[in-house]
């Protein structure tokens, strides 16, 4: 991790160099081989991952719980939402730091990949030791989650509009 510049990661870009040095020890590096699951949809998790090298895909099941999968006539009910590389340093699993809710999607490696990882205990240990820094990090996480909600809302509106047009007979 010593080679990686934390300012290149959007979550830490607004921090001072001194603050980034306080953040560095709560992360450790973890590598996964190609075709590995890093996060599994609907499982519990308390870790946040930042992809620093490699390529992953985000996969989401598109079938509501309780629906019979026979309705899909043997088709896979999952959809690839995104394929991301380490150059952008995408963040995954951040909701696991603040909530015991099940994971919302699966993250799978497409090639050998490395991540910076922290967990709820390490993260909130830093928040307790450095409350101002902790507040800035929590604000960054909240901003990221708010953007995800706005994006999801826009997608729901598109789908709702498309469904309404189809059901009304207009296209």
State how far the Cα of 102 lies from the Cα of 117, in Å rounded to an integer: 18
The predicted model gives 83-104 an average pLDDT of 92
Q: What is the pLDDT of residue 145?
A: 82
Say if CB 29 and CB 117 are below 8 A apart.
Answer: yes
pLDDT for residue 77 is more than 70: yes
State how far the Cα of 156 lies from the Cα of 153, in Å rounded to an integer: 5
State how far the Cα of 85 lies from the Cα of 67, in Å rounded to an integer: 33
The predicted model gives 16-22 an average pLDDT of 94
Q: What is the pLDDT of residue 67?
A: 62
* CB-neighbour burial class of residue 80 (10 A; exposed 0-12, middle 13-18, buried 19+): exposed
State how far the Cα of 163 lies from the Cα of 54, in Å rounded to an integer: 37
**3-state SS class at 98:** helix
The predicted model gives 37-56 an average pLDDT of 95
pLDDT for residue 1 is more than 60: no
Q: What is the pLDDT of residue 164?
A: 85
Say if CB 60 and CB 81 are below 8 A apart.
Answer: yes
Three-point CA angle 128, 5, 51, nearest 5°: 80
* Terminal C-alpha separation, the chain: 52
Q: At what angle do helices 131-168 and 120-129 cross, to 10 degrees?
A: 130
Q: What is the pLDDT of residue 113?
A: 97
**Residues in the chain, total:** 171
- Residue 17's pLDDT band (cuts 50, 70, 90): very high
- Residue 2's pLDDT band (cuts 50, 70, 90): very low
- Residue 64's pLDDT band (cuts 50, 70, 90): low
Say if CB 19 and CB 139 are below 8 A apart.
Answer: no
The predicted model gives 128-148 an average pLDDT of 90
């Amino acid at each position: 991790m010593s080679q990686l510049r934390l300012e290149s990661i959007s979550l830490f870009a607004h921090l001072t160099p001194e603050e980034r040095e306080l953040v560095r020890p709560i992360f450790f590096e973890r590598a996964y081989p190609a075709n590995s699951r890093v996060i599994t949809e609907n499982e519990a998790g308390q870790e946040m991952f930042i992809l620093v090298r490699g390529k992953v895909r985000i996969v989401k099941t598109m079938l509501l719980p309780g629906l019979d999968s026979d309705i899909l006539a043997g088709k896979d009910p999952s959809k690839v939402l995104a394929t991301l590389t380490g150059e952008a340093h995408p963040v995954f699993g951040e909701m696991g730091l603040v909530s015991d809710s099940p994971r919302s999607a699966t993250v799978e490696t497409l090639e050998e990949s490395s991540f910076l990882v922290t967990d709820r205990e390490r993260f909130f240990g830093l928040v307790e030791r450095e409350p101002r820094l902790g507040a800035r990090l929590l604000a960054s996480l909240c901003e990221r989650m708010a953007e995800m909600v706005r994006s999801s809302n826009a997608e729901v509106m598109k789908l709702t509009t498309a469904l309404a047009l189809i059901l009304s007979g207009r296209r």
